[in-house]
Chains A and B, each alone.
Chain A
Amino acid sequence: MTSTNSPAVNLAKPASATSGRVSGESSMWFFIIGDLFIFGAYFVSYMYYRGQDQQLFLEGQQHLDQWIGVVNTLVLLTSSLFVALAAEGARNGNRKTALRMLTIACALGVLFPVLKMIEWLPKLDAGLTPGESLFFMYYYLMTGLHLVHVILGLIILGFVFRELKTAKHPNIGFVETGAVYWHMVDLLWLLLFALFYLMR
């Protein structure tokens, strides 16, 4: 029997806690949330050590190629857009559009590691290795970890492409799962770009 005079807390709608739609598979979201917490810990520790010797970090930052950072940010943002459009196309049953959008997204995704190599190799040649300073240790460690995520993301997008191309009835959940992973790669870069390239 329910009371009409129930306390305010009972007026909450518990159903809304679980209603709504998760894009992709829930298991991927648990992986994403875990990854975000791990990267978050790295970001915070970077900020802590930066605070211990700001001059060292500001000097290290001078050696980074700002333009490559900006271009890579735009590349990943645009790639993310095309992945989102591909997922939308797949959901609407427009397989041809989805495949076209995904192809553009992957092409842009491949550009990211290429630009990263253009950025890294001259630095390593000039002796700016991870052992050079704490700044470069963090720089190579965090952008390297992110690069691994980019490569894994490209492999996942490759499987999504195969699903859309060959499956009789493509699994939309799988397409969305690949898409949310790729968006996570994008959002992590947005923070890395701010921390390493932009902040002063």
Chain B
Amino acid sequence: MAEYLRNPLCQVWAFLSAMTLASWWVSQGGFEFNVNVLVTVTVLLVSALKVHLVVRYFMEVNVAPRWLKRTMNAWLIVLLALLLGFYFFSL
């Protein structure tokens, strides 16, 4: 299972499927769309990317052992998911 999760083909498929469901949800009026939502989602995604780049290149986690890479990636992914989750939950 873990091997399939790491396979880029499966990751691309998961992204494409998630985007399909997300665009369908938006088109159905899944949440009241407004500029604030767009701003917040963009800001959080861009910030996560910035943090990822600092961790990877400035902190040199790109050459670090797997346990450190995984810990840092897990921290960022879980944090981003919780921040977006609480944001959307309160809309």
Contacts and interface: CB of A to CB of B under 8 A. Distances in A.
A20, A36, A37 — which one has the most chain B CB atoms within 10 A of its CB? A20
B87 interface: yes
Q: Please tell me the size bucket of the interface on A.
A: 35 or more
Interface stretch (B8-16, B20-28, B46-54): B46-54
Interface in A161-200: 179-180, 183-184, 186-187, 190-191, 193-195, 198-200
B47 A194 contact: yes
Contact of B67 (A17, A36, A37, A51): A17
B51 A191 contact: yes
Interface in A129-171: none
A16 B43 CA distance: 35
Interface stretch (A40-48, A62-70, A94-102, A106-114): A40-48
A72 interface: no
A37 B89 CA distance: 22
A44 B79 contact: yes
Contact of A23 (B40, B60, B69): B60
Contacts of A17: 65-67
9 closest A-B pairs by CB: A51-B90, A200-B36, A194-B47, A23-B60, A20-B65, A47-B86, A199-B40, A198-B43, A183-B58
Interface of B: 3, 35-36, 39-40, 43-44, 46-47, 50-51, 54-55, 57-61, 63-69, 71-72, 75, 78-79, 82-83, 86-87, 89-90
Given A51-B86, A184-B59, A198-B43, 15 more contacts: A17-B66, A19-B66, A20-B68, A21-B60, A23-B61, A44-B79, A47-B87, A50-B86, A52-B90, A180-B60, A190-B51, A191-B51, A194-B43, A195-B83, A199-B87
